[in-house]
């Protein structure tokens, strides 16, 4: 006879089932301060994988479910928190590692703001960039006055090469006014 291990557990009790609803509650409670911390750095973001790893480590609650199958529920609950507190959608800081874009679940926040769903990824990502900027303005003391909604560094490469259109131009250097690309240091003012 083989034993069946639980799908969700809390370390160090790997063989004791942990209620999934309680796991989602703990992950949500831990995600909120983590995302506020990410927002405290201008231009900050976190990947879904890094957030998932953080939630596992901080709560000691783990699951055998694949990341895309469980991370959405805590993030929806974070959006419930943001809506209840009249805060920006801080889940906009959570992006896919390869593309640097928010996942399709962020459309929930888009709908909550009476804006859609987004017609395409670029529209959704531009909305997410607005929410990231609003989050930085709330939690980061060092947001430049001329800041605009920015793509993540991965997306910025596509914007710079012209393979993706972005609705905002990068702000010029605040020191000399030279035009810059997103995330580019000014070669004159360095």
pLDDT digits (tens, 9 = 90+) for 113-164: 888 788 888 999 999 999 999 999 999 999 998 899 999 999 999 999 989 8
pTM equals: 0.91
Residue 176, pLDDT above cutoff 80: yes
Separation of alpha carbons 185 and 62, rounded Å:
40
pLDDT digits (tens, 9 = 90+) for 30-48: 999 999 999 999 999 999 9
When the pLDDT of each residue in the chain is averaged and rounded to a whole number, the result is 92
Q: Higher pLDDT residue, 188 or 117?
A: 188
Residue 174, pLDDT above cutoff 90: no
Region 106-117: mean pLDDT is: 86
pLDDT digits (tens, 9 = 90+) for 41-89: 999 999 999 999 999 999 999 999 999 999 999 999 999 999 999 999 9
**At 137, is the secondary structure helix, strand, or coil?**
helix
Region 168-188: mean pLDDT is: 90
Separation of alpha carbons 187 and 190, rounded Å:
6
Q: Residue 120 has what DSSP assignment?
A: S
Q: Residue 27 has what DSSP assignment?
A: H
pLDDT of residue 4: 63
Closest CA to 81 of 124, 36, 39: 36
pLDDT of residue 138: 98
**At 163, is the secondary structure helix, strand, or coil?**
coil
- Domain locations along the chain: 8-141
pLDDT of residue 1: 44
């Amino acid at each position: 006879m083989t034993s069946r291990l639980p799908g969700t557990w809390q370390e160090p009790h790997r063989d004791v089932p942990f209620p999934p609803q309680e796991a989602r509650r703990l992950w949500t409670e831990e995600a909120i301060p983590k995302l506020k911390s990410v927002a405290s750095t201008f231009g900050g973001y976190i990947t879904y994988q890094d957030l998932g790893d953080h939630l596992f480590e901080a709560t000691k609650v783990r699951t055998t479910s694949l990341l895309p199958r469980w991370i959405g529920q805590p993030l929806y609950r974070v959006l419930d928190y943001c809506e209840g507190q009249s805060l920006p959608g801080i889940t906009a800081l959570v992006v896919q590692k390869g593309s640097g874009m928010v996942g399709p679940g962020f459309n929930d926040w888009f709908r909550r703001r009476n804006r859609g769903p987004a017609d395409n990824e670029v529209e959704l990502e531009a909305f997410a960039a607005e929410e990231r900027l609003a989050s930085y303005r709330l939690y980061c003391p060092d947001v430049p006055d001329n800041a605009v909604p920015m793509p993540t560094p991965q997306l910025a490469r596509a914007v710079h090469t012209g393979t993706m259109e972005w609705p905002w131009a990068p702000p010029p250097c605040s020191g000399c006014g030279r035009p810059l690309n997103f995330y580019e240091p000014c070669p004159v003012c360095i």
